[in-house]
Each structure stands twice: as structure tokens, then as C-alpha cells.
Amino acid sequence: MKKHILVVDDEIGALTLIGIMLERGGFEVQKARDAKTALEILGDYNPDLIILDVMMPGMNGIELCHELRQDEKTRKTPVLILSARGDAESIIRGIEAGANDYLPKPILHHDLVSKVRSMLGTEVTP
């Protein structure tokens, strides 16, 4: 059975690329372009993992991660932050908000799929 991943990124190009990488890696992908849409999707959808961008209009990925950790339904859902901001302060803020891991963009297909598989505890197929 495929694992389900929600990807939240305001850049349509990044959203599309991450979606393709994950689908090729064998995952089912749901996409949202902002935090508000992500929260609406999460009302009806319970993904196995959530991937967040940091810099988004309105509520940013750090704030969204913090909000996810306050919600009983998503409190234990693994969260991976993917961001162009790879400085130590941004990484610390992401982890403090409750993210399980933080990877800088741009991300290579193999690195993303490997990270997601390890976070989900799924086997890596050749």
C-alpha cells in the first residue's frame, strides 16, 4: 500500500517537481499552495508525512508546523521542512516548531526519496 504525503509549497514549480519526485519514488501525493489550503485538506485527509516549505505568503511553514503540532490529529505526523533557507537559525526554528527534519533546497531526487523513506520507516527498493 502506498504511503500518502502532503506537500505544501507556494511555488508551483517546486510543488510540481517535488510531487513528481515522490510519485516516482512510489508515494501518493496531495499538494497545497499555502497553509490555509493545507489545513483544509487535513480536515479530510490524514497523510503519513507532511513536507513544508518555509517561505510562503500568509502563514509560513514554521508557523504551520507549530500549528500542526497543536492539533491532536497531526501531532504525531512526521514533518519534513524543505527550504531554500538552509542557515542554522532557520533550521533551529524549524526543529523547535516541531519538524522531524529539515533539508535545504534544491534537493536531489534520490536524497528526497531516501529521506522520506527513512522518516516513514519504509524499505528502500533498488
Instruction: Please say if the pLDDT value at position 125 is more than 70.
Output: no
On whether residue 34 sits in a domain, the answer given is: yes
Q: What residue numbers bound the domain in which 9 lies? A: 4-118
Per the structure, how many domains does the chain have? 1
Reported confidence tier of residue 123, pLDDT bands at 50, 70, 90: low
Residue pair 23/56 in contact (Cβ under 8 Å)? The answer is: no
The proportion of the chain whose per-residue pLDDT surpasses 90, expressed as a percent, equals 81
On whether residue 125 sits in a domain, the answer given is: no
Task: Report the CATH number that the domain containing residue 85 is assigned in CATH.
Answer: 3.40.50.2300
d(CA 38, CA 92): 23
On whether residue 124 sits in a domain, the answer given is: no
On whether residue 123 sits in a domain, the answer given is: no
d(CA 25, CA 38): 22
pLDDT of res. 126:
40
Q: At CA 11, angle to CA 63 and CA 120, rounded to 5?
A: 60
